[in-house]
Amino acid sequence: MERKQKITITAAVAAIIVAVVCVAGFYTKAGPVHQLTEKGKVAVIRVNGPIVGGDDDPMRFSSSNVTTSGSLMREFRKARKDQEVKAVLLRIDSPGGSAAATQEAATELERLKKSGKPVIVSMGDTAASGAYWLSVYGDTVYANPSTITGSIGVYMSYYDLQGLSQKLGVSEEKIKSGAHKDIFSPFRPMTEEERQMTQTMVNDMYDQFVAVVAKGRHMDEAKVRTLADGRVFTGAQAQQLGLVDKMGNYYDALADAGKRIGANPDNVPTVEYDHSVSWKQLLEGNSSLSQFIRSQFSTDTAVPLPLLLMKGVLQR
Amino acid sequence: MRSLILDTLEYTYDLITKPKVTLDKIVQERRLREGVLIWIFTLILPCVSAIVQLSGAHIGAAFGALLFGCVCFILQIIFIHGISCLLGGSGTIKALAAGLGFSNIPLNFATLAESLLFILPSILVHFISIASLLWTLVLSVLAVRSAYGMSTARSTLAVCMPMIIVVCVIIILVIWFAFSVLTLVKGF
């Protein structure tokens, strides 16, 4: 073949490769391509353990046994923005936690619902108090007959250690700017005025909780208040009282979510955003180095590791 | 510059159609400039792909990746030259660099496949990536063989030795680190 022909062919192939790589790069971010090429998925978001404020420590040594509001908000936002995700399965196994942390996460959950994606809640062992607060946002709430749920209420506690400190000969000298600055100090009993102030706060949070349950479960507030004395219910009792919708396990809830997106209920495509792998899991051999690296980038397993590492270098 | 590009394109075509003969010619004529041009293209293409795909990527990071690639390539050439000389070969770094630069051509097909991951099955992409890597390895072995006049077995050892050494060092470091950390755990 002549030199000119060789050069032309090679130049054409090189130009095509560069063009395809560039165009492919743009289109991987484009919505219409995602809708054409990717089937719908259900995002599974888990709430395990107490719900607390703050965020996960990415360099933590061992797995976390709490759910932070930061991580929950992030997952709700990802599910809302992920065009592949058509529905969300919220799997809850939590005794509750901080009211403010729950509210923060609930705000993002509400935004997710407003985007039009159905939310199916699956209760595990326990879904009480703040965890129940989150549950009421579900379009359908599944529980097991023996799930512990309810506990609609709020409390604040403090320890009065004055007697103990006197026995130990320990006293506290406090110079404060206002009378109630040390309202929960364990070194003195609460005054009646402070008790009233705290009760007012608790009542305010309680009213907010009741309002959320009434709205989420489409019940009268008066009826919710009759159930909201802090008592817990089994899943079966909760269903009779209108606090949950159906009895079923995780896979029943997943099948429900799958039907809503037109997927095979026995083989629902799912995605989970929390792939966090702790150093302890890596060192114990419970996770591969590949999974550990992917968890740092919070991505699924479809991206080849070399490209992921390059993306990591360029991103950071 | 124009003739450099035209020569590079011609050699690229010949390398794909007649790899052994072309590599011999590249090494004998010490086409270092053409080899470096191919290598730069091979390094830039995935950077372009990553920058286009990532909304938050910085151009500065791309230059950092290029610099890192430069250092790795130079170290690879030095290692292979040293090991080839130890194995009884005789040749020049310039000839080796020219050959190794051209041997990176198949990697561009891997970059192309990986950029199409969103429409191609992942198993196909992995297959193309592995095939490209193997093809690059074969071309590297041919380049070393041509540059140093060694047998295929010794050339393969020379090409693979840097990777084997790096992997062994990483394994040793990880084991050492893991033991160091685990000694902090009670009962271990």
DSSP letters spanning A67-124: EEHHHHHHHHHHHHH-TTEEEEEEEEEE--B-HHHHHHHHHHHHHHHHTT--EEEEEE
What pLDDT is recorded for position A278? Answer: 60
Q: Under an 8 A CB cutoff, do A310 and B178 touch?
A: no
Residue A243's pLDDT is what? 95
CB contact under 8 A, B118 and A33: yes
Contacts of A269 (CB under 8 A, 6+ apart): A39, A40, A41, A42, A263
Helix (H, G, I), strand (E, B) or coil at A218: coil
Does the beta carbon of B44 lie under 8 angstroms from any beta carbon of chain A?
A: no
Q: Which residue of A has its CA nearest to B63?
A: A314
pLDDT of the residue at A33:
47
The pLDDT of residue A32 is: 47
Superfamily of domain A38-151+231-274: 2-enoyl-CoA Hydratase; Chain A, domain 1 (3.90.226.10)
What does the pLDDT read at residue B54? 61
Closest-CA residue of A relative to B180 is A283
Q: Pick the catalytic residue: A6, A39, A81, A181?
A: A181
Judge whether A69 counts as a catalytic residue.
no
What tokens were used for B101? 């630069």
Q: Mean of the per-residue pLDDT values for chain A?
A: 84
Helix (H) or strand (E) holding A59: none
pLDDT confidence tier of residue B68, bands split at 50, 70 and 90: confident
A311 and B50 within 8 Å at the Cβ level: the answer is yes
B22 or B68: which carries more pLDDT confidence?
B22
Instruction: State the pLDDT confidence band at B183, using cuts at 50, 70 and 90.
Output: confident
Tell whether the model's pLDDT for residue B80 goes beyond 60: yes
pLDDT at A73: 94
Measured distance CA(B129)–CA(B185) in Å, rounded: 41
CA-only gyration radius of chain A, Å: 26
Report the percentage of chain B scoring pLDDT > 70: 93
User: Which residue in B10, B114, B182 is closest to A6 by CB distance?
Assistant: B10
The residue ranges of chain A whose pLDDT is under 70 are 1, 28-39, 57-64, 275-316
Considering only residues 76 to 115 of chain B, which have any Cβ-Cβ distance to chain A shorter than 8 Å?
Answer: 108-109, 111-112, 114-115
pLDDT of residue A107: 94
User: From chain A, which residues contact B within 8 Å (Cβ)?
Assistant: 1, 3, 6-7, 9-11, 14, 17-18, 20-22, 24-29, 33, 37-38, 279, 283, 302-304, 306-307, 310-311, 313-316
Q: Give the model's pLDDT for residue A291.
A: 61
User: What confidence score (pLDDT) does residue A128 get?
Assistant: 94
Q: Quote the pLDDT of residue B4.
A: 87
Out of A129, A151, A278, A295, the active site residue is A129
Residue ranges covered by each domain of chain A: 38-151+231-274, 158-214
Q: What letter represents residue A242's amino acid?
A: G
Q: Give the pLDDT mean for B86-106.
A: 91
Contacts of B9 in chain A (CB under 8 A): 6-7, 10-11, 14
Is B13 in contact with A7 (Cβ distance < 8 A)? yes
Among A9, A24, A283, beta carbon nearest to B116: A24
| Residue of chain B nearest A310, judged by CA positions | B50
CA distance B24 to B30: 10
* A-B contacts (CB, under 8 Å): 108
The pLDDT, as a whole number, for residue B69 is 82
Question: What pLDDT shows up at residue A300?
Answer: 46
Distance CA B114, CA B50 (A): 11
Partner-chain contact B10 A10, CB within 8 Å: yes
Which one-letter amino acid corresponds to residue A208? Q
Based on the residue annotation, tell me whether A113 is a catalytic residue of this protein: no
Considering only the beta carbons, identify the residue of B52, B64, B109 that sits closest to A25: B52
pLDDT, tens digit, for every residue of B112-154?
888 887 788 888 888 998 999 999 999 999 999 999 999 999 9
Among residues A5, A3, A78, A2, which one has the least CA distance to residue A44? A78
pTM value?
Answer: 0.57
**Mean pLDDT of all residues in B62-69:** 77
